Chains A and B, each alone.
Chain A
Amino acid sequence: MVIKTENLTKEFGKIKAVNELNLEVEEGEIFGLLGPNGAGKTTLISMLCTMLKPTSGRAWVNGFDVVKEPEKVRKSIGIVFQQASVDDLLTGRENLELHNLLFGVPKAIRRQRIDEVLSIVNLEKRADDFVNTYSGGMRRRLELARGIMHHPKILFLDEPTLGLDPQTREHIWEYIKELAIKECMTIMLTTHYMEEAEQLCDQVAIIDYGKIVVLDSPDTLKKNVAGDIVKIKQKIPDIEKIRRLEYVIKAEEKDGTLYISIKDASKHLQDLLSKTGPIDFVEVRRGSLSDVFLHYTGRDIREGEAEGGFWERMMKR
């Protein structure tokens, strides 16, 4: 167990941002935290990174208590923030050199380690240019490189691809996957992009109102919760009859269209269509993590919570 929390709670005034949360993350996993804005994922990460003190409960990162041994925790983790925190007026290499000093990387391996991480994120050629000449994607890559510099056991990524174009996003995913394998790291990331979670994560936890609503692998979640989704248009639908079918997970009507989630469409679609009677239109698609997400968190837009990374939250404390 690389990360473990026990009834971890953080209150901001009356609001319980994280509410008696229990979590265990295995070594080597890429673990995704999903949740609507203000669900508490940011606060949770801040506490695990020792940036925020829990109101109650306990948490261990790499076996160290986050309250009692914060410096040891900090040495075992790397963090990539939501907003770029690399220094504009320094070169890429200088940023990494500073990190080496700050995180106490042994002198003998510093230079070699910088070259190593630069090559992982393909920034060797631009390493000696000032960061203010970098594109958004390059800054992200530099931050990734910096985050893994001191061989952390656990890497925290707060919205690693926010605000990047789709091409860059795919590249960053590749880098993250590579990191997990090459550096044998456990990675915990928060994201709003379901596609990102599907692509990267071994396990995802959906968090809402400070609690974990569900925790499983994306595949299992999709299979059990979302299933396959059959979209049907029909003159006189009989929802009740459809709902009674044992392979139907969920059925609901919206704007004259019937949305039916069923287990394993390849097996049951024919039977379903034979039971529904004549139809005007049918479309089948695989359930996605988005469907799972909306199933657990509902469709209401959340208000009263500021967007932003855990830093912003900390500053407003």
Chain B
Amino acid sequence: MSELEGIYAVWLREAKIYIREKERLISAVISPLLWIFGFGAGVGTTVDSVSGYPYQMFIYPGIMVMTVLFTSLFYGIYIIWDRKLDFLKEVLVAPISRASVFSGKMLGGATDAMVQVIYLIIIGLFFLKVPFTPLIIIEAFLMLLLISIAMVSIGLVIGANLTSPEGFSLVINFVMWPMFFFSGALFPVSNLSPWLAAVTKINPMTYGVDAMRGIILGINHYSLLLDTAVLMVFTAMMIGIGIISFRRM
């Protein structure tokens, strides 16, 4: 019981801070807009359609994944600031396990990302005329939550093992961009050169993008079952490593 309350306390703190830091909310709104309406609309004028969908629509699931990926990974930087500004001490000396501290933080990060997801669904629904049904929305939401949990965990692992925010930005860029570019978020993975195909196969994000595209647009490269299984195993691994990192902190 007290462990659950501990997780709730850590999460509650994160959620309150998120709502009160207006900059975070604003940047959460702007960056996906730029991708959809800046990048998507621009490239869309030169690319007719992909798999029967306009390019802007084709990359929409990928942009959702990307937004979750970026927000979730970067969330790990707050653990470094918390430590620098000493907010974390209080939590670390509390009589709750490090697994609970990790879980609370992880759920906090996932909350950030899911707020953005809700926002993106509204844009998709009203501006892009994405063929959403209530079931699709629920499925997409759950899939993105799974992706977010995996990515927040990676961010927290990196954050827990580093001491400077600068170092974090550097490391996270090496994780984030390859994961994004080699995921098929911007292009279909079916007709790639062998080396690129190999890279996309080992990138867990590929399965996330594929699942999302399957759920929203009905275009699947792998089966939804395989996508989900890969992501679940990956997420479980990341949570495990995350808890170990927090124990050593």
| Chain A residues within 8 Å of B, Cβ to Cβ | 49-51, 71-72, 74-75, 79, 81, 83-90, 94, 98-99, 101-104, 146, 311, 315
User: CB of B201 within 8 A of chain A?
Assistant: no
**Chain B residues, CB < 8 A from A104:** 1-2, 5-6, 95
Contacts A83-B86, A315-B163 given; does A102 touch B6 at CB 8 Å: yes
Asked if B8 CB lies within 8 Å of chain A CBs, one says yes
Is B87 in the interface zone, CB < 8 Å from A?
Answer: yes
* Contact between chains at B93 and A74 (CB < 8 Å): yes
Q: Which of B13, B21, B93, B95 contacts A87 (CB 8 A)?
A: B13
Pick the most buried of B10, B20, B89, B163: most chain A CB atoms within 10 A of its CB: B89
Bound-complex Cα distance A94 to B13 (A): 9
**Contact among B8, B21, B90, B163 with A85 in the assembled complex (CB-CB below 8 Å):** B90
Say yes or no for B16: interface residue by CB 8 A criterion.
yes
B93→A101 contact, CB < 8 A? no
Bound-state CA distance A98–B96 (Å) is: 13
Asked if residues B93 and A89 are in contact (CB atoms below 8 Å), the reply is no
Q: Can you identify 6 A-B contacts, CB atoms within 8 angstroms?
A: A81-B89, A87-B87, A88-B85, A90-B17, A104-B2, A104-B6
Across-interface contacts of B2 in A (CB, < 8 A): 104
Best-buried of B12, B13, B163 by chain A (most CB within 10 Å): B13
In residues 83-111 of chain B, which contact A (Cβ within 8 Å)?
83, 85-97
Q: Does B197 contact A (CB under 8 A)?
A: no
CA distance A79 to B94 in the complex (A): 10
CB of B9 within 8 Å of the partner chain: yes
Question: Chain A's nearest CB lies how many Å from the CB of B248?
Answer: 10
Q: How many B residues are at the interface, by size bracket?
A: 20 to 34
User: Do A90 and B95 touch (CB < 8 A)?
Assistant: no
User: Which of B85, B92, B94, B95 has the most chain A CB atoms inside 10 A of its CB?
Assistant: B95
Q: Nearest residue in A to B91 (C-beta to C-beta)?
A: A102
Whether B86 pairs with A103 at a CB distance below 8 angstroms is no
Are the C-beta atoms of B9 and A89 separated by less than 8 Å?
Answer: no
**What chain A residues lie within 8 Å of B21 (beta carbons)?**
89
A81 to B87, CA, bound (A): 11
A49 engages B87 (CB within 8 Å):
no
Least CB distance, A115 to chain B, in whole angstroms: 19
Residue numbers in B under 8 Å from A87 (CB-CB)? 13, 17, 87
Q: A83-B86, A85-B87, A85-B90 are in contact. Are A75 and B16 (CB under 8 A)?
A: no
Find out whether the CB atom of A98 lies under 8 angstroms from the CB atom of B89.
no
Which A residue sits closest to B89, measured CB to CB?
A: A85
Q: Which residues of B sit under 8 angstroms from A101, Cβ to Cβ?
A: 5-6, 8-9, 12
Residues of A within 8 A of B87 (CB): 85, 87
The 10 closest A-B pairs by CB, nearest first: A101-B9, A104-B2, A102-B94, A74-B95, A85-B86, A85-B89, A75-B95, A101-B5, A71-B95, A83-B86
Q: Are the CB atoms of A51 and B93 closer together than 8 Å?
A: yes
Interface string of B159-185 (1 = CB under 8 A from A): 000010000000000000000000000
